[in-house]
Structure 1
């Protein structure tokens, strides 16, 4: 039988100085979107995380089971109603998909909620509590993530973008699925560590595609 991977997620980058909250309607407005079920698979061929995930799943013969993926443009804290609605949709999809071998949870890494600073940690906790300790969870992340101890404790691996601007989103999705599948097959055993540096770096200094110092370091 093919490896069965359940996927979904919530992606929003929060500016806590923005007084206006991000509502469920904001996840459905403009360039934002809520993809449910087969709508996720319709992202095949796009230069998105899911474009890379789907291509890699097809290449390896992996069965990809979509739940709900919601994305909103950067904004204020996500309302409790929006988060709990979307989180429950993902959890319901996980329940209906059982049994499965792993979870690919697509998140941004810097989502804050009206009632909790660590939105991704709360989402990962809900998923981990449902699937148990033995199911592998891997998440692709924006390199601007605000990585928490809770997130580190709950996921098996995070796979971050390497480029800013983010021209490698599809490649990141493919790498995340590769790591997930190789872990399930027992070929690798991911280990993670992180260190918080006492630095605040302006975005202009983080450009990797055409501007030093990071471009020079990467090259």
Structure 2
């Protein structure tokens, strides 16, 4: 079984006027991991700590592409998004054919040119791998789900804890669901309803 992985993760504050540039993905605690650097995240406290561990536990061939993670900030610039997206797509293209895709995304990313940052990424991956290859991703619990995200992905798995102490576990669950989908053990179905509600910060604790 061959699964390819990569992603772009950033939490956008649309009230911040200065965009998040490509260089912002390499400053401070932000980072761009490529290839083996993604696999080296095995056992860490983020989603890839669980993704890589579960893939290895189940004997899956996990092919890493590019994973860009930036601290919360303004909308991601077109240059940054397209550069990271194209790296991910190139990695997937080089690995094809693949049995599944696991994307490392946040769920609340916005772009200079789009309020939905994850939807265009998932769509680009879907157009490359075709309609039958499952795409699964873990998400933050305050994700801004879009019709595009729901229409192009196979399954999402959300964090349940705040602070996010369950990120590795969520990564493991996402990998397990992807493997089960590939093996035909499950057939994920997703639905969502937009609730006209803004929750106060205290409700997130």
The within-5 A match list for 1:1-219 is 3-207=1-205
Structure label with greater radius of gyration = 1
TM-superposed CA distance for 1:44, in Å, is: 1.1
Give per-residue Cα distances to partners, 1:150-184, cap 9 Å, x unaligned: 10000000000001110100000000000000000
In 1, the alpha carbon distance for the partners of 2:191 and 2:162 equals 22
In 1, the alpha carbon distance for the partners of 2:194 and 2:200 equals 16
Give per-residue Cα distances to partners, 1:29-68, cap 9 Å, x unaligned: 0000000001101111111100101111111111100000
Q: Name the SS for the 2:202 alignment partner.
A: helix
TM-superposed CA distance for 1:203, in Å, is: 2.2
Q: Which runs of 4 or more aligned residues in structure 1 lie more than 2 Å from their structure 2 counterparts after TM superposition?
A: none
Q: Name the SS for the 1:7 alignment partner.
A: strand
Relative to the length of structure 1, the TM-score reads 0.93
- Cα RMSD, aligned residues only: 0.6
In 1, the alpha carbon distance for the partners of 2:52 and 2:77 equals 30
In 2, the alpha carbon distance for the partners of 1:28 and 1:168 equals 25
Structure 2 segments unaligned to the other structure (5+ residues): none
In 1, the alpha carbon distance for the partners of 2:204 and 2:5 equals 30
Relative to the length of structure 2, the TM-score reads 0.99
TM-superposed CA distance for 1:205, in Å, is: 1.3
In 1, the alpha carbon distance for the partners of 2:201 and 2:140 equals 13
In 1, the alpha carbon distance for the partners of 2:164 and 2:135 equals 23
Give per-residue Cα distances to partners, 1:73-115, cap 9 Å, x unaligned: 0000000000000000000000000111000011000111001
Structure 1 segments unaligned to the other structure (5+ residues): 208-219
